[in-house]
């Protein structure tokens, strides 16, 4: 299943920061790339599943919302690229709500392109914000690399799906850990996803993990449903590695439309 912009979370001692993503699984980037010339609109919400994790007792962590547009920009099959822009906000008056625009880009190649049985490969960047000073800065500037492979059928058993693995690194002074600690700006990217065609071609399952004790680190899982070939919805749950940094866990809904 294709998933494009998504994402928003809580960051810094002063409040929440929004961030924009490329084509993703549920939370982390995927090796999927938007087709050339096809605009994709994403509308995502992250709703707190409990009272608080970041703020003191009595103050509920804000919900988070993302609307974004992504489009493929290379007319080739072997080498593909997408770029995107997102508008992200908590609509709660936090300092970073004043700088809601974020950018992303990804370059990659599909499975079996480089050689027979080759994995899909992708490199990209996201969470490129427009505020680069003081504690409300939004320039996480995450760079990542990923490889993914759809596992084949074995002994007449169906494929277990696609697995992905990679690594990311971002700006150290922005992707801080508990109490503002440095050295938490990198980590693993892992995922599994599968179209449940034996049940219904429209059904999809996915799980992904982003390492690091920063605002982005967490485990997400969800179920997707394609209403048509161009419209789909994911409903999922996000377990953040450090609630003292990222806030309380969230229930996510992600609507995706290809034009």
Question: Is the residue at 77 inside a domain?
Answer: yes
Q: Using alpha carbons, select from 247, 243, 239, 233 the residue that is nearest to residue 6.
A: 233
Question: pLDDT value at position 53?
Answer: 67
Q: Is the pLDDT of residue 15 over 70?
A: no
Encode pLDDT of 83-125 as tens digits. Answer: 999 999 988 887 778 899 999 999 999 999 999 999 999 999 9
Containing structural domain, residue 41:
8-258
Regarding predicted confidence, which is higher, 152 or 111? 111
Mean pLDDT, the chain, as a whole number?
A: 88
Please report where in the chains the tokens 């509308």 appear, as a residue: 43
Q: Is the pLDDT of residue 1 over 90?
A: no
Distance CA(36)–CA(38), nearest Å, equals: 6
Question: Is the residue at 200 inside a domain?
Answer: yes
Question: Is the residue at 187 inside a domain?
Answer: yes
Question: Is the residue at 3 inside a domain?
Answer: no
How many percent of the chain have pLDDT more than 90? 71
Q: What are phi and psi of 232, to 5 degrees?
A: -145, 160
Read off the DSSP letter of residue 159: P
Q: Is the pLDDT of residue 170 over 80?
A: yes
Question: Is the residue at 1 inside a domain?
Answer: no
**What's the average model confidence in pLDDT over 133-140?**
84
Question: pLDDT value at position 135?
Answer: 74
The CATH number of the domain holding residue 100 is 2.40.160.40
**What's the average model confidence in pLDDT over 25-46?**
95
DSSP assignment of 30-60:
-S--PPBT-EEEEEEEEEESSS-SSSPTT-P
Most confident option among 52-56, 170-174, 244-248: 170-174
Question: Is the residue at 36 inside a domain?
Answer: yes
pLDDT band with cut points at 50, 70 and 90 for residue 32: very high
Encode pLDDT of 242-254 as tens digits. Answer: 988 998 999 999 9
Question: Is the residue at 211 inside a domain?
Answer: yes
Question: pLDDT value at position 50?
Answer: 81
**What's the average model confidence in pLDDT over 28-42?**
96
The tally of domains found in the chain comes to 1
Q: Is the pLDDT of residue 76 over 80?
A: yes
Those residues with Cβ within 8 angstroms of residue 194's Cβ, 6 or more apart along the chain or in another chain: 159, 160, 161, 162, 204, 205, 206
Question: pLDDT value at position 91?
Answer: 86
Those residues with Cβ within 8 angstroms of residue 185's Cβ, 6 or more apart along the chain or in another chain: 169, 170, 171, 172, 174, 175, 176, 212, 214
Question: Is the residue at 2 inside a domain?
Answer: no
Question: pLDDT value at position 55?
Answer: 61
Among 14-18, 19-23, 34-38, 44-48, the least confident range? 14-18
Q: Using alpha carbons, select from 234, 219, 239 the residue that is nearest to residue 44.
A: 234
Question: pLDDT value at position 92?
Answer: 82
pLDDT band with cut points at 50, 70 and 90 for residue 22: confident
Among 19-28, 77-86, 208-217, the least confident range? 19-28
**What's the average model confidence in pLDDT over 33-61?**
84
């Amino acid at each position: 299943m294709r998933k494009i912009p998504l994402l928003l979370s809580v960051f810094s001692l002063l409040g929440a920061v929004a961030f924009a993503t490329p084509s993703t699984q549920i939370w982390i980037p995927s090796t999927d790339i938007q087709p050339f010339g096809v605009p994709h609109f994403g509308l995502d919400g992250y709703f707190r599943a409990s009272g608080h994790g970041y703020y003191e007792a009595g103050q509920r962590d804000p919900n988070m919302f993302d609307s974004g547009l992504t489009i493929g920009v290379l007319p080739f099959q072997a080498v593909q690229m997408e770029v995107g822009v997102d508008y992200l906000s908590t609509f709660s008056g936090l300092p970073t709500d004043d700088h809601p625009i974020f950018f992303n880009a990804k370059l990659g190649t599909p499975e079996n392109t480089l050689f027979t049985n080759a994995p899909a490969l992708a490199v990209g960047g996201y969470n490129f914000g427009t505020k680069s000073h003081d504690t409300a800065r939004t320039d996480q500037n995450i760079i990542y690399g990923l490889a993914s492979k759809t596992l084949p059928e074995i002994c007449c058993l169906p494929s277990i799906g696609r697995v992905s693995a990679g690594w990311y690194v971002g700006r150290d002074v922005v992707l801080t850990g508990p109490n503002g600690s440095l050295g938490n700006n990198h980590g693993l990217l892992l995922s599994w996803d599968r179209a449940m065609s034996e049940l219904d071609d429209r059904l999809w399952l996915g799980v992904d993990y982003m390492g690091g004790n920063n605002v982005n680190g967490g485990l997400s899982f969800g179920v997707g449903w394609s209403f048509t070939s161009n419209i789909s919805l994911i409903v999922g749950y996000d377990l953040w590695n450090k609630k003292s940094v990222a806030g309380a866990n969230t229930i996510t809904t992600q609507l995706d439309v290809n034009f």
